[in-house]
Structure 1
Amino acid sequence: MRKIYVVGIGAGDPDHLTLQAAKAIGRTNVFFLLDKGEAKASLVELRERLIKHYGHPHKRIVEGRDPDRDRTPADYTGTVADWRHRRSLVLEELITEHLGDAEIGSILVWGDPSLYDSTIAILEEILERGAVDFEFEVVPGISSVSALAAKHRVGLNRVGQPFQITTGRRLAEGWPEGVDDVVVMLDAQHAFTKHPEADIYWGAYVSTPDELLACGPVAEVADEIVATRTEARERHGWIMDTYLLRRNR
């Protein structure tokens, strides 16, 4: 039986790699990488460094082109579902062609595979089609959310209180009910600017050499964060940022 590891490699610091992840990389025969284009070449480079350091001498690396998708669609859910389906076809072809019987493959995932990542769902879709058979195991990693909280030396929740993880798209529709602490990912709309009464703990490229951090009352730091985010995105061609928005009770 073929086996595939879905390995969380952390938010960008090579030291985030857990012992379990390092062992999984060391057992792997074939690594599957989906290339996101020149603008995100640095994302592939870190994976390749980890593979070189922890992989065995006879490992193989195979690459496929990550399908493009509309970043501002009218039908967000449908667009993402279509993108995941097209990704599954690319990955299925790579597995079929390059992973032999009884071999182990690995997909290295930023942060933790359970948080805002589609790899698990894509592998389930491939198995449901039935054209190729394998088993897979998920290796957890340090998420950008955990790394952000550590960098700012804050807890994500307050005593006896819940917190919620959501997206900028949902925050733009209004503050979630029943919580005063909200972790927001994928906020291209700068939805936090609509909540000047809150405090923000913001980070981009967290745990990488390009890390950017800012914190304070939204009313005081919103303009700085927007300007920093815009400049960083233009310079790198992409941005990954996360923030904790905390409303005072």
Structure 2
Amino acid sequence: MDLGLRGKRALVTGSTGGIGWATAHGLAAEGAAIVINGRTPERVEAAVARMRESLPDAIVDGIAADLGTAAGCACLIERLPQVDVLVNNLGIIGMQRFEDVGDEEWLHMFEVNVMSGIRLSRHYLAGMRQRDWGRVVFVSSESGLQVPADMLHYSVTKTAQLTVARGLAEMLAGTGVTVNSVLPGPTVSEGVGRFLSRMAAKQQLDIEQVKKEFLGRMGPTSVIRRFASPEEIAAMIVYVCSARASATTGAALRVDGGMIRAVM
């Protein structure tokens, strides 16, 4: 199936690894011109090289910028004034008791997970509206709906993303621009992998044991009963970025392995 992405320019934030990398790879495989983003030139250059090795015909570039800051977003926008597809994938995760999370950590989590997408969407949507075509996707989480008690600051940011995405979709009613959220469940992304590795080291446990315990505690309702792969999440993201998904907007699309116990 041709997804109608050939010739479209796509920016995937936080795409040097994990879900972001898998999404960028999937879009590039469909013929989109990809811009990979990460915080450091070394990581970005390595990801661009890996993409070119995997897909020799891919049109791929990279921009190093810390999008968890207003200055980083401004730097990226200056270098990349227009895109057709924006995937707001950048995010950080944390697990702490509510009482132990200070103001600085709350604000940092919000800056990275929410404000990065707001700042970029605010800029790029103007061009999409003018061209009457565009795709914006916020990579949220099932934690935005099922709130883990010890991940409250993270969950708040993921719920905020759902609200922003729905509001933008409403704002763009009647245009050829769609805005959606994708809600992964537990996924062995790069960030989650580091998070689980730290847990394993702290508890002096094997990583597989930590994954099993984490899923048992955080995802007892999982139907697939395993962590998803980044590629499984990326498949949904790539589809909603496509021309084929023109009637899907304002949606919160679950790729949660059936964790959320609801029929809708």
Normalising by structure 1, report the TM-score.
0.36
Structure whose residues are more often helix by fraction: 2
Structure whose residues are more often strand by fraction: 1
Which structure has the larger Rg? 1
**Which structure would you say has the larger RCO, counting Cα contacts within 8 Å and 6 or more residues apart?**
1
